[in-house]
Amino acid sequence: MAKSTTDKGAAKRSSETSTKGASKGPRPAEKAKGAAGKPAGRASTRREFERAKSVQPVGITGKERPHDIITQMFPAYVGRQERTAYELMRKSALEDHCVFLTLSGAMTPAGLHQSSLIPLLERGVIDCITTTGANLYHDAHRVIGHGIREIDPNAGDLQLRLARVIRIYDLGFWEETLLETDKLFSAILQRPEFQRKMTTPELHYLLGKSVAELEDALDVKSPSLLATAYRYGVPIFVGAVQDGSIFLNIVKLRRLLGDAFKLELDVNDDVFEMGAMQHHCFGTLGKKMAIWILGGGVPKNYTLQGEPLLDQILGVPTHGFDIDLQFCVDPVDNGALSSCPAGEGHTWGKVSAESVQTGSVYVHCDVTAVFPWLTYALLSDPRVHRAPRRLYDARARAVAALDAEVQKRRKKLAPTLTYALPAPRPIEPLPGEVATAKRAPKKKKGATSGKKRGAAAKPKKGKDAVARKRK
């Protein structure tokens, strides 16, 4: 269900999306129709059914490989969704897809990065990450010696607040943990290398470098996600960077230090850079792409919107994601972006028709309940190991290449900059402004208007002039 791929010259927001995808062959339902377009008969339907995989699990002995358990013992329901996700993860790794991983929520407090994500980075499976500020901020707690503990979610929040214990469902940590982590990021962000305008991958690369140095100094055994991404050249995007505690400390630094604190985040270049990364993968490297969506939210759409940015906004033909798999608890019928399945994404030009049919799945589950197990099965295969692609090192080249493609299309894009807007209405003064105007002092008698300050009034002619002379 959750897929994403767009062909070259990919779909527009209009109905072209479906026709382009369909041009490469009939959909499964169409294959079942006869030459006259009528539904297939009973015999052909039975033949199709007989070719389907038979459900025949065997007893588990405890000696099976993880791969065998998943592929043979998960034939139905959410179990089959898990099996399909595993098969697509395996295909992504073994066929050398560029893998974009999105991570929502606060999953680093639960240790998902330590159990699953960092091992995947170390094996070269993950090439780019989009996540939340919360995941990166809470990841730093353990680096500076603070623990996160399992607690009873029903223990009583009023008592926890009195004891200064912060709760994330069934996890807890001291309030001092937040305050110490604030000090850490405040100190790092004042370093000279941060005093300029940058994108979120640049910010998180520099933060990762500083945290990696801290880990080495403190002899930290379990590295953070920030430091590991820095070491392996994996760019980290945060789409809603202002929604998180790292940015709250940036706000504090700007207010306290004023112009001496020069860090700025360029959201325009950030969005362009995401599109450039995807264009680099399919255009320059000639690789297929996969997106692994853990949760939903902003990280999901921030990554997927690279396709309509390229094709529909900038006019640059896209290849898109060949594989799209998602783990999420949200129902797909509430209109939310988090649970938007691949077919719905296809209508926006984010996902190709081929991917909708054969390269996607929406696993209706809690990520933390499933993903570590699938990662274990995946990494049990020694072939799932490749050299890091280090997309961060290719940032400048990727941005330059996409910019060159956009400049080629300046003439074609020019009509998209205009729209027949109605003439603007005169701005009427507000009630307070009207009252102020009424109270304005009247000009003194004999005062000149419209003349330069200090200019002498011209002498009057006629009777008035004679009268003045007489006086």
DSSP codes joined into one string, 278-330: HHIIIIIS---EEEEEES-HHHHHHHHTHHHIIIIIS-------SEEEEEE-S
279 contacts 397 by C-beta, under 8 angstroms: no
How many C-beta atoms lie closer than 10 Å to residue 122's C-beta?
Answer: 16
Helix 395-408 / helix 267-279 crossing angle, nearest 10 deg: 90
Strand 149-150, strand 171-174: pairing? antiparallel
Residue 319: predicted pLDDT: 75
Residue 215 is encoded by which pair of tokens?
Answer: 């880990």
Are 316 and 10 in contact, with CB atoms under 8 Å apart? no
Burial of 75 (0-12, 13-18, 19+ CB in 10 A): middle
Q: Mind telling me the catalytic residues?
A: 350
Residue corresponding to tokens 């912060």:
166
**What span, in angstroms and rounded, lies between the C-alpha atoms of 175 and 181?**
10
Three-state DSSP class for 38? coil
Per-10-residue mean pLDDT of the chain, 471 residues long, equals 38 36 40 51 90 90 93 93 96 96 93 96 98 95 93 92 93 94 97 98 98 96 96 97 94 97 97 97 94 94 92 90 91 75 68 72 93 96 96 98 97 95 88 64 52 46 45 39
What pLDDT does 60 receive? 93
**Where would I find the beta strands (DSSP E) of 169-298?**
171-174, 197-198, 236-238, 264-265, 289-294
Q: Among 360, 364, 287, which Cα is nearest to 4's?
A: 360
Backbone angles phi, psi at 128, to 5 degrees: -155, 145
For residue 57 the two structure tokens come to 């699990």
State CA 170 to chain mean position distance: 26
Which residues neighbour 55 within 8 Å (Cβ) at sequence distance 6 or greater? 75, 76
In angstroms, the CA 285 to CA 115 distance is 30
Position 102 scores a pLDDT of: 97
3-class secondary structure, 429: coil
**In terms of C-beta distances under 8 Å and separation of at least 24 residues, what long-range contacts does 247-250 make, across chains too?**
247/133, 248/182, 249/182, 249/185, 249/186, 249/189, 250/189
Q: pTM for the whole thing?
A: 0.81
Whether 100 and 303 have beta carbons less than 8 Å apart is answered as yes
The gap from C-alpha 117 to its chain's centroid, in whole angstroms, comes to 17
